[in-house]
Structure 1
Amino acid sequence: MNHHSQGHTHGPDAPAPGGDAGPAQDIAPLPDMLARLGARRSAPLRGLVEPGPTPDELDAMLVLAARVPDHGRLVPWRFIVVAGEARRTLGERLDALYARQNPELPAAKADMWTLYLSRAPVTVVLVSRPDRAAKVPEWNQVLSAGAAGMALTVAASALGFATQWLLKWPGRDAEAAALLGVGPQEKVAGFIHIGRPARVNEDRPRPALDTVVSVWSPDQSISNDTP
């Protein structure tokens, strides 16, 4: 299936693509970058080990994570870094809250959230904070938050780290999110765990392009009329 052969007319009388934007600028391809993007995949949380990113490396990742589409320049997302001893402190507070919410919790699970946060050297909590008073649709802003999360995983990979993006109870429960410092008008979009990969895992099957890509044509429109 050729996705680039339809709908293009570049004859001598055709307008130049981009209108009056000027001539196209040459941007050199980066084979190493393409290879890394082609190899990036999530690592199991238990497979993330020390050493984690240095403060400078983490800052570099977050700077790159912030370079995402953001209609209206609203910055509808933010990051909360959980690292070092703070992982245990936060984990213990989450364990205490979870125990209060689940009185029948088995003793074996009393420290489950402390263990969860202790596995990866660094965890970045991605927070979606759409500006509901803005003219930009909220959905656009939520998508921007998702883009920031994906950009962070790519930046981490480029610096030699692996990631696991999860969204478990601490991100879904309002009381737990408050312990993270997440406000009532915000929502946790994920916990992005970062560390060195303990091993290189085999890639998982990826979708064939023909199952997820189509080229629009007039006869593909779907009617919204109800019978």
Structure 2
Amino acid sequence: MPARNDAALAFLKTRRSRQAKLFTYPVPSRDELTEILTAATRVPDHGKLEPWRLQVIEGAAFARLADLAEARALELGGDAEMAAKGRGQYDLGKLAVVVISSPKSAPKIPLAEQVASAAALCFGIVNAAEAAGWGACWLTGWPAHDATFAARAFGCMDGETVAGIVHIATPPADGPDRPRPDLSRLVTWVDA
């Protein structure tokens, strides 16, 4: 029988989603964040392509991104609500890791698997940050899915997209847990 890691299972079963808007300082140091990213980058990556890249956002970069999001909302003819939603996570950000899906030309590695690797990396960052004692929240928001904003804000080139933005900082005290999925409704067992 394989060896169990009960501590890891307990962590995964009890981890909580926390709202980034409730995060406070301090944030991880560069060394602490490097440890988190080192753990998180152990994701499925068929062919060792590393079909993603990362940007760490801190300090004044948040104000720049908030302004870019607001400007883009206005360019698109959006209203004040769209602009406010676009600015939101950047106005309140403390430290964030932007995961950019950057697929490579690899005929044997399907595009879907490369994009999934970037998504797995987002969740790996959330888990590694929380395991290190920090709060982590995977957000994206409409601006990150807008190609023009993504190019201006994060230097995304053709074929690149923002897989997620993971905010990391000091978490609030735990509140009530959210409802968990009812596996009896979602899992089908197939044995033939």
1:181 shift after superposition: 1.0
- Could you say which residue in structure 2 is the equivalent of 1:164? 137
Q: Aligned-pair distance for 1:168?
A: 1.1
TM-score normalised to the size of structure 2?
0.88
Query: CA 1:76/1:109 → structure 2, altered by over 3 Å: closer, same or farther?
Result: closer
CA distance in 1 between counterparts of 2:123 and 2:87 reads: 25
- Higher mean C-alpha deviation, range 209-218 or range 117-126: 209-218
Q: Deviations over 1:67-87 (max 9, x none)?
A: 111111111111111111111
1:61–1:152 CA contact under 8 A, matched in 2: yes
Contact 2:54-2:99 at 8 Å conserved across structures: yes
Structure 1 unaligned regions, length at least 5: 1-23, 219-227
Question: Judging changes above 3 Å, is the alpha-carbon distance between structure 1 residues 115 and 213 closer, same or farther for their aligned structure 2 residues?
Answer: closer
Answering whether residue 5 of structure 2 is matched by residue 29 of structure 1, we say yes
Instruction: Give the aligned partner of residue 57 of structure 1.
Output: 32
More helix by share: 2
Q: Pick the aligned partner of 1:191 from 147, 165, 185.
A: 165
Residues 202 and 73 of structure 1: CA distance in aligned 2, closer, same or farther (over 3 Å): same
Q: Does 1:74 align with 2:34?
A: no
User: Percent identity over the alignment?
Assistant: 36
Aligned to 1:145: 118
For structure 2, list consecutive stretches of 5 or more residues without a partner in the other structure.
Answer: none
Rg (Cα) greater in structure: 1
Are positions 1:204 and 2:172 aligned together? Answer: no
Letter in 1 for 2:5: P
- Residue of structure 2 aligned with 1:155, choices 128, 139, 153: 128
Amino acid at match of 2:113: N
Give the deviation of 1:110 after TM superposition.
5.9
TM-score by length of 1: 0.75
C-alpha separation between the residues in 2 aligned to 1:208 and 1:111?
Answer: 34
Give yes or no for contact 2:54–2:100 (8 Å, CA) kept in 1: yes
Q: Which residue of the partner structure matches residue 94 of structure 1?
A: 69
The equivalent of 1:40 in structure 2 is 15
CA distance in 1, matches of 2:188, 2:88: 44
Are the aligned partners of 2:119 and 2:164 in contact in 1 as well (CA < 8 Å)?
no
Residues 213 and 111 of structure 1, relative CA distance in 2, 3 Å threshold: closer
Residues in 1 aligned to 2:145 and 2:38: alpha-carbon distance in whole angstroms? 26
Aligned-partner Cα distance in 2 for 1:201–1:80: 30
The range that moved more, 110-119 or 83-92, is 110-119
Q: Structure 1 residues 208 and 90, CA, compared in 2 at 3 Å: closer, same or farther?
A: closer
Per the alignment, residue 14 of structure 1 pairs with none
CA distance in 2, matches of 1:86, 1:217: 52
Question: CA offsets per residue over residues 147-204 of structure 1, 9 Å max, x none?
Answer: 1111100001011111221221221111100112111210111111111112212211
Distance (whole Å) between structure 2 residues aligned to residue 72 and residue 146 of structure 1? 17
Q: Does 1:215 align with 2:189?
A: yes
| Aligned residues of 2:99 and 2:165 also touching (Cα < 8 A) | yes
Q: Is the deviation greater in 124-133 or in 68-77? A: 124-133
Which amino acid is the alignment partner of residue 181 of structure 1? Answer: G
